Amino acid sequence: MLKNKLIFIYPKLYTFVKADMKLLSDEFDLITIDQNWSNKFLLPFTFIQQFIFLLFNITKVDSILVSFGGYLSFLPALFGKLFRKKIAIVVHGTDCVSFPEINYGNLRKPLLRFFTKKSYQWASVILPVSESLAYTKNNYYSAKTLEFGFSVHLKNVETPYRIIPNGLDIEFWKKVKGIKKDSKRFVTVFGNEQVITKGVDLIIDIAQQFPEHTFYFAGVDSLSNFDISSNIQLLGRLTPEELRDLYSESRYYLQLSNTEGFGVALCEAMLCECIPIVSDVNYLPSIVDDAGFVLKRRNAEMLIDLINEVLKLDVTSFEQKARKRITDNFSSKNRQELLIKELLFQK
């Protein structure tokens, strides 16, 4: 049986983009193009290349899916509107935020904000991975209540939106048999440019207060601007298999982000039975629910107290509870069904 064809636009082959491509390929023949949207000097050429790609392929499809709003979504949304095709934009985090206090969010940049807003206005539907990307309040970062989400930063966007959470491969992400949990091991995952966004500076501040415990940072091999205590280990970039092993032998996972669109690494860790300790921002408390612990304010003393409280508890029952929380709510099968249903339903 012939499959429907789908144009799928993405900024980079992130792990979750590859996951979506795999999910969609069961139903669609994907028409894709690899482009470098991060090089601003090449943007005019990137737009021209995308224009030619869309012009050549637009009549072959009924729908276009774009992962992330921004420069890359502008022409697909315009083509979708002009050619009466369904255009769905998956929004993940930075494309819904203006957070100048931590120098984060595409929407703090006027030109990028314009391209993003027009994309959302022309789209048939916006698909946030969590409700918090449409609107959320943040009382964690400072005493002042901050408001985020595309409904806050981008006025007059009346495009309907539907929440389709990220989905995890629950068969891959599970505790490796034979690996024993180390009760003195904490882990967190982040990239080189995410130290402040992910709240890693707060973990660095308090690590020396727990000299008998080790804090493993996956994703970076250098933090030159920080004074790193001896119980912090930088592991660099890990393969999925290496990361799964790390989760499997770690008792706790720390996700102390100042803002967070969803929390894929958090879900991976919970599937591997790590007990989560998260900041009270966006969707993180909803992911964790009663399977972990929430830091209510960005405060080092409060974090120290919370960790000390957690360390006194018998938390072994939380391990299976953490995994069940993700398998019940955030499986790749669930995301696949919702995405395909949305894309097959025409305007």
Helix H, strand E, coil C: the string for 124-171 is CEEEECCHHHCCEEECCCCCCCEEECHHHHCCCCCCCECCCCCCECCC
What is the structure's pLDDT at 188? 97
Clarify whether residues 160 and 225 are in a common domain: no
Which of 150, 100, 106 lies closest to 126 in space, CA to CA? 150
Rounded to the nearest 10 degrees, what angle do helices 264-271 and 316-329 cross at?
120
Clarify whether residues 213 and 125 are in a common domain: no
Q: At residue 113, does pLDDT exceed 90? A: yes
Clarify whether residues 214 and 339 are in a common domain: no
Q: Note the pTM of the prediction, 2 decimals.
A: 0.94
Q: Can you read off the two tokens belonging to residue 1? A: 């049986």
Q: How many Å is the maximal CA-CA distance in the chain?
A: 62
Return the DSSP state at 309.
H
Return the DSSP state at 298.
S
Clarify whether residues 315 and 197 are in a common domain: yes
Q: At residue 14, does pLDDT exceed 90? A: no
Clarify whether residues 133 and 234 are in a common domain: no
Inside any domain, residue 177:
no
For residue 87, what is the domain's CATH number?
3.40.50.2000
Clarify whether residues 153 and 214 are in a common domain: no
Considering the chain, what is the average pLDDT of its residues?
95
Q: At residue 315, does pLDDT exceed 90? A: no
Kindly give the pairing relationship between strand 146-148 and strand 293-295. Answer: unpaired
Which of 289, 299, 257 lies closest to 148 in space, CA to CA? 257
- How many whole angstroms separate alpha carbon 266 and alpha carbon 288? 9
Clarify whether residues 82 and 187 are in a common domain: no
What is the structure's pLDDT at 347? 53
Clarify whether residues 304 and 161 are in a common domain: no
Q: What is the pLDDT of residues 139-159, one digit of tens each?
A: 999 999 999 999 999 999 999
Q: Where are the alpha helices (DSSP H) in the chain?
A: 15-24, 43-57, 71-82, 110-122, 150-153, 200-207, 240-249, 264-271, 284-288, 300-312, 316-329, 332-344
Q: How many domains does the chain have?
A: 2
Q: What is the mean pLDDT of residues 285-307?
A: 97
- How many whole angstroms separate alpha carbon 79 and alpha carbon 18? 24
Clarify whether residues 154 and 252 are in a common domain: no
Clarify whether residues 187 and 325 are in a common domain: yes
What is the structure's pLDDT at 346? 60
Clarify whether residues 128 and 189 are in a common domain: no
* Identity of the amino acid at 37: W
Clarify whether residues 208 and 319 are in a common domain: yes
Confidence tier at 345 by pLDDT (50, 70, 90): confident
Inside any domain, residue 186:
yes
